[in-house]
Structure 1
Amino acid sequence: MRKPDTVRAKLIVMALATTFAALVTTSVSMLVYDLTTFQQNWVEDLTTQAEFVATVSAPAVSFNDPVVARQNLALLRVRPQIQAGAIYGVNGVMFASYALSARNSAVFPARPGAIGHAVEGGRMVVFHPIIENGERVGTVYLSASYRLLDRLVSYAIILGAVMVASLLLAAMVASRLQLGITRPLEAVTDVARAVMQKRDFSLRVRERASGEIGTLVDAFNNMLAEVERRAHALQEANRTLEHEMTVRQGAERALLLADRRKDEFLATLAHELRNPLAPIRTGLDIMRLNRNDAGATERARGVMERQLKQMVRLVDDLLDVSRINTGKLTIRHDPVELHSVVANALEIARPYIDALGHTISVTLPDEPMHVFGDATRLAQVLSNLLNNAAKYTDRGGRLTLTADVGADGQLHIRVADNGIGIAPAMLGQIFDMFVQADSSLERTSAGLGVGLSLARRLVELHGGAIEAHSPGPGMGSEFVVTMPVMQGVQGTAPREAAQPAQGTPYRILLADDNVDFVNAIGALLRTMGHTVHICHDGTQALAAAEAFAPDFAFLDIGLPYLNGYDLARALRALPGLARTVLVAVTGWGQQKDRDMAFEAGFVEHLVKPVSVEQILAILAERRPGALVAATSH
């Protein structure tokens, strides 16, 4: 039984399609012509009828004789297709009317329409003027049944019957004529199908034919012989090409990902290095302007020391990663006691944990445990995990650190939290370089995204492994270090708040999540007599702004909970802050960052570190309410 997609079937279908196309074209042409003629005849007939009524009714309208007018309209009963008619006076008021059926009261237009005809649903209406002595004295309205659909259906039935009969006849003729062509072609098709299914190029077409079809059969057999010789070489070439394409595509994807992460890392690195530079610069300004104030100088020195340690940790992390990648990092392999490593890690991470108001519980085996490794590096690993847990847990969270020896004889150290958790899609990437669980502007913590990657590599240098587990976003996370010897983790530096002071001439709002920087700036401004209000996230700043009514607002862009762009737009929407001068103070300094700041409503854009001279210049140049065109620094 032949399949419907054989050449024979296609030839028949082609013949039928050609016949069908010709029939459709002819039918549509005839149908369009008939409908056009039908409508034209209706228009002419109805217009002639309206003209007749207008002529015989002109005297009745002129002499205000509605009885005669109604009698003239009653003559329309001889034309049952005309369902209703009316005569309107020159003032547009109905003078006389007529309806074919008393049971179906006709709906007449309140006033006559434009002269001419129109098709409305299943009706054709005509408005014709009544002319008497060259003047228009009224209008005739006729409404007739326009049964275009009935005519269309009847015509379509006739054309459909003709088309079916023609197609049946064409199918019979085509079926008889195509056998001489299709038999050899079907033989070629069967052999081609068998070759594709069996990959056997020794098959040949046995069907004989004359003329061009015979030449085609011979050429096909010769082609099979040639293909048989080259098939193996071609298959090898294809396999080689596919492999190369796969390798190249994988390399291209890896390069694109690496390039994107490199750009993100460089932008983040610039931001993270500018953050500690800002309070260092401010501390220098405080020490220079308050040389006789020992308390202010001591506080500034403390701020500068803490921020310098932060920069050193950032650089150390980068150097450690570079040393590991180049194989230059060496670790000691000495007996290390677990309790001392944990104590060192807690000493490093405790200030940051306490600053965020977290509680931490530590559960270790009672008996001493010794492993071979580098005590400093193992403490670095654990402190990194602890700082990471603290960083991604909301203030007042719970952290746990436990250690035990499993059934496999390996040491398992678990650092868990009840923080923001990790999305399932991120679990496989969380240990990659420069990857962060939260990279939005609203994040409450920052970093370079190298801490976990560094921790994993240090653990692997100790012959161990590290895994991340999380039920999902908002459900906390757990990091498990497994090793035959002990290991450690490092984290970010703790933040401490500087002390504020006093103020008068301008009311200034400061919003920045870098506590040292914003408190130092606030203290400096208060010593100059300004009233200063300090906030550490976007929502605090928005809540305090309306009541505080600042003259100037210096806002960080990467604020937690509500970023600086959205905060600026919200402040601009408050009626009482229309005169407030908004200044962006941020570590993001590319041109696109400046453009986004000005679009959000900032009139100045300062890149950290910011000197006191820049702030004083803005206070001197920008009077509140004078919101002139924004300039960048």
Structure 2
Amino acid sequence: MNRRSSIRKKLVVVVMATTFAALLVSVGLIIGYDLRNYQRSLINDLSTQAELVGHMTSAALAFDDPRLAGENLALLRTRPIVGAAAIYDEHGRLFASYAAPGAPGAFPPRPEAPGARSEGRHVMLFRPIVENGETVGTVWLRAENRMLARTLDYLAIALGVMLLAMGTAYLLMRRMGRVITAPIVAVTEIARDVVATRDYSRRAPRVGNDEAAELADSFNAMLTEIEQRTRELEDSNGEIVREAQERSRAQQEIMRLNEQLEHRVDERTLQLALANAELANAIDEAHNANQAKSAFLSSMSHELRTPLNAILGFAQILTSASLPTTDTQKKEFANHILKSGRHLLTLINEILDLAKVESGTITLSMEPVALGEILGECQTMIEPLAAARGIRVLFPQQVNAVLLADRTRLKQVLLNLLSNAIKYNRDAGAVVLDCQQASPGRMRISVQDTGMGLRPDQVDSLFQPFNRLGQEAGAQEGTGIGLVVTRRLVELMNGTIEVTSSPNVGSVFTIELGTTAPLASQASALAAVEAAPAAGGDGVPQLVLYVEDNPANLKLVEEIVRFRPDLRLLAAGDGPGGLALARAHHPDIILMDLNLPGMSGLEVLAQLQREPATRDIPVIALTANAMTRDIERGMAAGFFRYLTKPIDIDKFNEAIDLTLAHLRAGRATGGTAS
């Protein structure tokens, strides 16, 4: 009996002690957790209130309205926990304040660092007011810290609960004894295991349906709550860890972007430096180009005035009644005027060529060109100039190469080099043109003279406008811009040009152009034209209609045609008159000016082509519109030939003869050649 009583007491003591420990730990954890949540909730609540107050009073700060800010702060009376509040402006001065009834009205003189801190029985919170990324003021809140009172309440409750539980347990153990011992022992063992292993998933078994079972259920419920809180805490810690990792990755990304930005800034700085250097070079080039332009205009003015001086001077002598001249003098003066006029025309053409070359508007027709034919034409044109000074011109006997070039521009290049070689040669000298295969697909053409040669400094400035091979102005006729055009034309034909010279020995100009496979010669067609019988072989003059509104131009053509008995001229002063004469007389050839009053030459041509009776009459353009685009537009419109003013009599007669031969060839085949 004593043994049982002793054991029961021991069991009571053990159960009571275990129950007390379990209750103490459980209640302590719950109280601590609840107080911690209370502190956090209080601070979060104050932060929320501060943010709302700051948002509501930002406009008052912006408009400097303390009354509105005070009204906003007065709304805190709905929050009894907030005892006082204040708003500070961006300079830290007190802007508005609020104090609950019965609360002390003391406010900090200036805002402190953002955050919350406890001071006695109060919690104070400072929070900046940020609007559009700028801090416009600070909110201060003071709330009553009921932590101590709450702690005392919890302790009193816990003490009462523990006393009640201990008393109940003691009474139950004394009354139930062994009935209660088993479940308490089970709970104790489970509690020990949970404390040891931190495995809050363990549960105490339910034995019976009495208070001991309820104790087990309560203990299990406590473990469930602790397990849930522990899991939440672990999840929170995991989230904090993930946020820290993300923040670390974000910082690394920011560092990487900063490095890229620095690299881009360095690159941009380098680009700006290069751009500045290029701009400085461009400014220098523009300055040099402006100086070159001024020099060019000055030289061009001199070159234009020189032939004009001769033309106007001799023309004044011929037209002056006070300066009688003999027929011999008139012929001599007329020759001077003709020579100067041709020189002036050459100068204008070369200036136009230079302008087109420099502006990039010149167009080339790259096609296979028989070099032998071009050299033959150049030799025919250049030999009379050389013979006048006793200069021998040597050409290769037979050249079978075919170049890939523009036929007209290639001929212009060769004639310019040959004429320079004769012009700047010494009397009774020599000019040698040679052709050699430079490499597969390339032909080298050289023009050598026996002139005075050039110094190295003269060679360096050779390809400049109005630089006439180092000769003094007036020593030789010439514009000095032919070589500039020549070099650019050679380059546009995918070729190169070089010059070597020795003083008192001579100069050699060499060009290289690409070659292509030989093509069938087109000489047969030309030979057929040349072999055609003379115009008007049947003794009847061919009728030529000239549509021209300028009397001087009409008179010039009349004088040219007067020397050709095989032609008869019919004239019209405007487009409608020309159409009427063409319909009435059906001329063999029509010469057409383009700039006619009322109806242009192109419109007259279009009307002639629409009418069957005049559709087959070849029309030759005779106009001052000498630009490349004008010529291309005229040929595209249907002109048979395109002649430009001033009239070159040889080219004029050549065009008439070719047109008549074309007509005879068409008649010989039973139709009209197109």
Where on the TM-score scale, by shorter chain, does this alignment land: which range?
Answer: 0.3 to 0.5
TM-score (norm 2): 0.34
Larger radius of gyration: 2
Greater helix share, structure number: 2
TM-score (norm 1): 0.36
